[in-house]
A = this chain, B = another copy of it.
């Protein structure tokens, strides 16, 4: 269940293991009919690449492979009867791998509806169009103070996504927007990154995190660490301690929790709603039900082995699939052991920080490596070509600032009134 990094890898691994066994049926249940390459989401927000170039149709991935695809939303589990419920009916199983991913976690924030999360393709597309809509409003705004408030963009969460989206926004705004929107002077644009802990990129190598911090600050991004958002409202965020920051847009990258459907599973969960699984990755009392990726925490694993990153989900997927194969062959299960693969964080055009196999570096070479790795990891030659072309065109031509969707959740469009000052 699930067509993300974990679910897709599990299905492909099962296909390899049961290639010569036509009696085994493999079914991938996915709400989306595509696989999303999430690491490039921040580049959708900044219009560097096209949304369609980081998705790959599941059927194109399958091609001649024999696994089945059910495009359906999972709606429940009936472990006793060995069935999962879906939006198009019940599906029986002998073995189940749960890889339903996660949803934004607002930690009960008051005014969460005013924040824009960034974990799905829809999030990225909606956020991009909302941002551009905001720029149009700011372009026309005659009041200087209101204009500066509209042009204050707040990113909450200093992890990978938060840092990368702040860097992407900076490129988009200062390299493209201020040249084209005559009502938007560079001095009025303010980019704020809010992080609850003492340092950004928690879990990454501390020296690299410090280097990233200096680089971001040099680019003009304001970093507020040890700061927490107490409340979000229309047009402002309030920090713990009472400080109110007038802001045009709040991007929420401060946390995820497991798919809410997992609450109905038996057994203990961690605070992020993940199921506690055995070292063999199955539910404690259900040896045929596995959970992986953002849906699971291995009992006793150190905190750095529970980060919601693709390599972890994919490594777990391969072990879960192996254990399914072992179960079918009546062999003993193997244990999962995580091998972290290093860190790559993009800091916008021509800059990144990298920690690979203990070697740390940053700047242009790191950025080239970041691009190469992400391109290689993309599924399918067509998408690799398209993203490479997008990147090439992005160095030669301006970014696309067309608003493709009608503005949603824009209080200015909805209220519909302000003085028109064409620019």
Contact = CB atoms under 8 A, between A and B. Distances in A.
A198 interface: no
Given A121-B404, A125-B404, A404-B121, A90 B420 contact: yes
Nearest to A394: B382
A51 interface: yes
Contact of A69 (B88, B404, B423): B423
A72 interface: yes
Given A33-B403, A401-B33, A87 B132 contact: no
The 3 A-B pairs with the shortest beta carbon distances in the complex, nearest first, are A34-B402, A89-B420, A68-B422
9 contacts: A34-B402, A51-B404, A57-B401, A59-B180, A68-B422, A70-B422, A89-B418, A90-B420, A389-B389
A110 interface: no
Given A89-B417, A122-B405, 13 more contacts: A27-B422, A33-B401, A50-B50, A52-B400, A52-B404, A57-B398, A57-B402, A59-B181, A60-B401, A68-B423, A70-B420, A88-B417, A122-B404
Interface string A171-189: 0000000001100000000
Interface in A52-81: 52, 55-57, 59-60, 62, 68-72
Interface residues of A, number: 58
A247 to B, nearest CB: 21
A402 B88 contact: no
A402 B32 contact: yes
Give the one of A55, A60, A413 with max B CB within 10 A.
A60
A411 interface: no
